[in-house]
Amino acid sequence: MNQEPERKPRILGFLCRWCSYAGADLAGTSRKKYPANIEVIRVPCSGRVDPLFVIKALRLGFDGVLVSGCHPGDCHYQTGNYRARRRMAITKKFLEYVGVEPQRIQVSWVSASEGGKFAEVVAEITKELKEIKPNRLFDDEE
């Protein structure tokens, strides 16, 4: 495990256990090809994701963060994804103002049956992040 080469860019995904996490699982079991750049944290709902988590991930050096939940109207807890949407909307705008590239904060709706979509989302984000510099935001020297 230690010898595994570091994948660039590194993405941290917060995936809702009811949909996107299952979607990612499906992408795996149905052998959909997608870049192995994403590391996943399963969350009970996209509404659980405090913007603090996103910022912490950037602080830890992840190049991008994906928050993924159920499609609007499908939240297991009725409104969690709507709340996530508001939070992520302001987080993305605000971080851009502070000086963070918008590509680093990503949000998607992926249902449990959308294995293909999950693979596409990861591929697209990976491509976008390859187009910008690696995350050196929190390095001491430029």
Q: Is 41 among the residues that bind other proteins (CB under 8 A)?
A: no
Integer-rounded Cα Rg, in Å, for the chain is: 15
Phi first, then psi, for residue 125 (nearest 5°) are -65, -40
Pull the structure tokens for residue 132: 């910008």
Residue 69 burial by CB count (10 A; 0-12/13-18/19+): exposed, middle or buried? buried
Q: Is 77 among the residues that bind other proteins (CB under 8 A)?
A: no
Q: Is 89 among the residues that bind other proteins (CB under 8 A)?
A: yes
Q: Is 7 among the residues that bind other proteins (CB under 8 A)?
A: no
# chain residues binding other proteins, by CB under 8 A: 38
Q: Is 21 in a helix, a strand, or coil?
A: helix
Distance of CA 98 to the CA centre of its chain: 20
Q: With contacts defined by CB under 8 A, name the span among 6-14, 29-37, 77-85 that binds other proteins.
A: 77-85
Judge contact between 63 and 129, C-beta under 8 A: yes
Q: Is 10 among the residues that bind other proteins (CB under 8 A)?
A: no
Q: Is 43 among the residues that bind other proteins (CB under 8 A)?
A: no
C-beta atoms surrounding 79 within 10 Å = 11
Q: Is 45 among the residues that bind other proteins (CB under 8 A)?
A: no
Question: Closest approach of Cβ 105 to other proteins, in Å?
Answer: 8
Residue of 11, 26, 121, 129 that binds other proteins (CB under 8 A): 121
* Contact positions vs other proteins (CB under 8 A): 50-52, 55-56, 59, 72-73, 79, 82-83, 85-102, 106-109, 121, 124, 137-138, 142
